[in-house]
A and B are shown apart, each in its own frame.
Chain A
Amino acid sequence: QVQLQESGPGLVKPSQTLSLICTVSGGSINSGGYYWSWIRQHPGKGLEWIGYIFYSGNTYYNPSLKSRVTISIDTSKNQFSLMLNSVTAADTAVYYCAREPVFVGASDYWGPGTLVTVSS
C-alpha cells in the first residue's frame, strides 16, 4: 500500500520561501510510470494544482505559479520536494502531495495534507 506524507514548517514569514517534503513509502518513487504532484487548497476553497515531477526529473508547473515554484526529486530518499518563493498571505493553504499514474490523468494516492500559514 503506497503512502505519502508531507512534512515541513507550518509557519512561514512573508517574502520567504515555503519548503515542503513528501516522503513516499510502500513503493519506489524511481519505478517510473507516475507523476509526483503538489496540490494546495486555500481555506474553504477548491483545489489548485501546483505542479508535478517525473522520476527522471522532468517538471511541469501551473503557469500562474511557475515563476515562484520549484519541484525536485530525491530518489535515494524516496522523496520529492516543493519550494515556493516570495510567499504572501495568499499562499496560506493546506498543501497535499499525491501520485498520478501516467496516462490516467488522476491522482490515486494522496498525503493527509499539511497546513502552511504565511504570517509575520
Chain B
Amino acid sequence: QSALTQPRSVSGSPGQSVTISCTGTTSDVGGYNYVSWYQQHPDKAPKLVIYDVTKRPSGVPDRFSGSKSGNTASLTISGLQAEDEADYHCCSYAGSYTVLFGGGTKLTVL
C-alpha cells in the first residue's frame, strides 16, 4: 500500500476557490466511496471537514465540498478565508479493514 498522492502545496487569494486533488488506485479511492478530508492547523489535531466523498459534518461551512472521479478525489474550498490556511489531508478506505492517508497539502491564503 502506497500513500495517496496530494500536491505539496496550493495557494489562493481571499474570496477565490482552490481545489486539492488526492490520487489513489482502484484498490482505494476508486474502489470505495469512503474518502474523507481533514483540516489541520499548526500544532493542532486534524479536524474532519468532508466524509464519504461529499458529506459535510455539522458545523463545517458549505464553502467546503468534495467530489470524486475515477481514482482521484478532490476537495474544493470556495470563498477562501484567512482561517482556511492550513494543511489538508485526504484519507481513503483501502479494503480489508485498512486505511490510507495522503501526504498532505499546505494551503496558503495569499
A48 touches B46 (CB 8 A): no
Q: How far is the CA of A47 from the CA of B6 in the complex (A)?
A: 12
Closest Cβ of chain B to A61, distance in Å, is: 8
Whether A46 touches B36, Cβ cut-off 8 Å, given contacts A62-B98, A96-B45, A112-B45, is: no
Q: How far is the CA of A49 from the CA of B1 in the complex (A)?
A: 12
Within 8 A of B (CB), among A53-72: 60, 62-64
Find chain B residues with CB under 8 A from A63 CB. Answer: 1, 98
* Nearest 10 Cβ contacts at the A-B interface: A105-B34, A106-B36, A106-B51, A60-B97, A46-B104, A46-B103, A49-B99, A110-B45, A47-B101, A105-B93
Residues of A within 8 A of B (CB): 37, 39, 45-49, 52, 60, 62-64, 96, 104-108, 110-113
Residues of B within 8 A of A (CB): 1, 3, 6, 32, 34-36, 38, 44-48, 51-52, 57, 89, 91-93, 96-104
